[in-house]
Amino acid sequence: MSAPVIAITLGDVAGIGPEVALKALADAATRGCGMPLIIGHPEIARRAIQQAKLDITVEAVSRPEPILSDTTIACWLPPEMAITAHGADRVYRPDDCCDVKCGDVDWRAGAAAYAWLVSATRLALSHKIDAIVTAPLHKKALELAGLNYPGHTEILAEECGVDEFAMMLYVPPGRGVGARYGLGCAHVTLHTSIRSVPGALRIDDIRDTAMLVSNFLKQVGCEHPRIGVCALNPHAGEHGRFGDEEDRLIRPAVEEACALGIDAHGPIPADALMRFAIRGEFDGVAAMYHDQGHIALKLVAFNQAVNVTLGLPIIRTSPSHGTAFDIAGKGQADACGMIAAMATAMRLVDCREGLLAGG
């Protein structure tokens, strides 16, 4: 059996994405992470190699296929693409991104990041690659390209044609958390303002988020995952004193999840639940909003936490950091998050193959 192909998209070229991607590929820790295929511009990849003084090379390939080499990485540049999603009227031209300066918010970088992600997703859906690891993109650059997406997650879900999905922050085993199979924290709402969160919560979304986390943990070997569901308000609302979302939405969602066979518990005040989860009393968490889960996990595993998109028919991971425009192009970026993302992608491929082999 041939080694799995792991595609790495370079993300926004004005940020640290190309640098952390190439640093990760040059690191010995990723040598066992399948056969890499960079999806992006080879010139951008070469610049990253030069800036970071890395001892690897990139070879432009005309087809999206990897090269059997430890020191030369295949880089496939997707062809020109009309960008029409959500009413956009732009054209991705492959070489345009080479003129983007580090640290600049530029529609050409947004268009390139989108085209590379869409191309990778379509390759995964057609089983030409086994997993996608994405470097960070910039949401404003996407918007300037006419693309009204909050981030990677929503683009992936649309391309895959799924309605039930979630972004999960996952800390692998032994990286500062007590759970044997790692700790996963998925979010009911994601890239939205704090003030919009209460109105965005739905019973079915809360239930489905708990279910998605539970299913993921079973995939990585946890037979009976215990899922904690965060309250929204301080002290879980204190019997309605500080809000009614716990009684009106979260508790019914937990009851529905339990009726489906999920070992769900809540609503539990988030400050207590995250501590319990980190020390291993829960295997997964359903958080109501982005920072409710992110802050706690990044405090214990900032460079080891990995984003995993749940609910897709394909595997996608990414580091948990952003584009870091302030240090882009300086060779200072830490690639630990990208290394962890590649290792997690490979682990998920192995788990999937094991499930398929087992029927």
pLDDT single digits (tens) 37-71: 999 999 999 999 999 999 999 999 999 999 988 88
Residues 172, 104, single domain; the answer is no
Whether residue 257 is found in the same domain as residue 328: no
156 with 11, same domain: the answer is yes
Cα separations (Å) of 85 from 81, 124, 209, 327? 11, 20, 26, 31
The one-letter amino acid at 295: I
* The pLDDT value given to residue 354: 63
- Tell me: do 233 and 276 sit in the same domain: yes
Measured over the CA atoms of residue 344, residue 347, residue 351 and residue 353, the dihedral's sign is positive
Task: Average the pLDDT over 279-299 and give the result.
Answer: 96
Please report how many Cα atoms fall inside a 13 Å half-sphere around the Cα of residue 346, on the Cβ side: 18
Same domain for 346 and 271, yes or no, is: no
Question: In the beta sheet, which residues pair with residue 91?
Answer: 82
Q: Is residue 273 part of a domain?
A: yes
Q: Are residues 17 and 154 in the same domain?
A: yes
Identify whether 130 is part of a domain. yes
pLDDT value of residue 303: 85
Q: Is residue 306, in this structure, part of any structural domain at all? A: no
Q: Parallel, antiparallel, or unpaired: how do β-strands 306-310 and 166-171 relate?
A: antiparallel
> For 60, how many CA atoms within 13 A lie in the half-sphere containing its CB?
11
Confidence of residue 356 (pLDDT cuts 50, 70, 90): very low
251 with 316, same domain: the answer is no
Tens of pLDDT, residues 291-341: 999 999 999 998 889 999 999 999 999 999 999 999 999 999 999 999 999
Let me know if residue 248 belongs to a domain: yes
Last residue of a domain, one of 300, 334, 350: 300
Of 85, 109, 133, nearest in space to 346 by CA: 133
Structural domain contains residue 24: yes
**How far is 250 from 69, CA to CA, in rounded Å?**
51
Task: Provide the domain limits for residue 278.
Answer: 166-300
Q: How confident is the model at residue 357 (pLDDT cuts 50, 70, 90)?
A: very low
What is the model's pLDDT at position 358?
43
11 and 143, same domain (yes or no): yes
CA distance 123 to 132: 9
The residues near 170 (Cβ < 8 Å, ≥ 6 apart) are: 182, 183, 184, 185, 216, 305, 306, 307, 308, 344
Contact 341, 318 (CB under 8 A): yes
Instruction: Give the domain-ending residue among 300, 329, 345.
Output: 300
Calpha distance 193→174 (Å, rounded): 33
Half-sphere exposure in the Cβ direction for 49 (13 Å, CA): 18
Please indicate, yes or no, whether residues 217 and 233 belong to a single structural domain of this protein: yes
Average per-residue pLDDT for the chain: 94
pLDDT tens digits, 138-194: 999 999 999 999 899 999 999 999 999 999 999 999 888 999 999 999 999 988 899
Q: Which of 259, 274, 300 is the last residue of a domain?
A: 300
Q: Is residue 344 part of a domain?
A: yes
Domain membership of residue 305 (yes or no) is no
Q: What is the CATH number of the domain that holds 291?
A: 3.40.718.10
In the block, tokens 């580091």 appear at 319
Residue 307 lies in a domain: no
Q: Classify strands 284-287 and 226-230 as parallel, antiparallel or unpaired.
A: parallel
Same domain for 256 and 115: no
Regarding whether 175 and 137 lie in a shared domain, the answer is no
Please, what is the angle between helix 42-52 and helix 17-26, to 10°? 70
pLDDT digits (tens, 9 = 90+) for 225-244: 999 999 999 999 898 999 99
Tell me: do 9 and 111 sit in the same domain: yes
Q: Provide the domain count of the chain.
A: 2
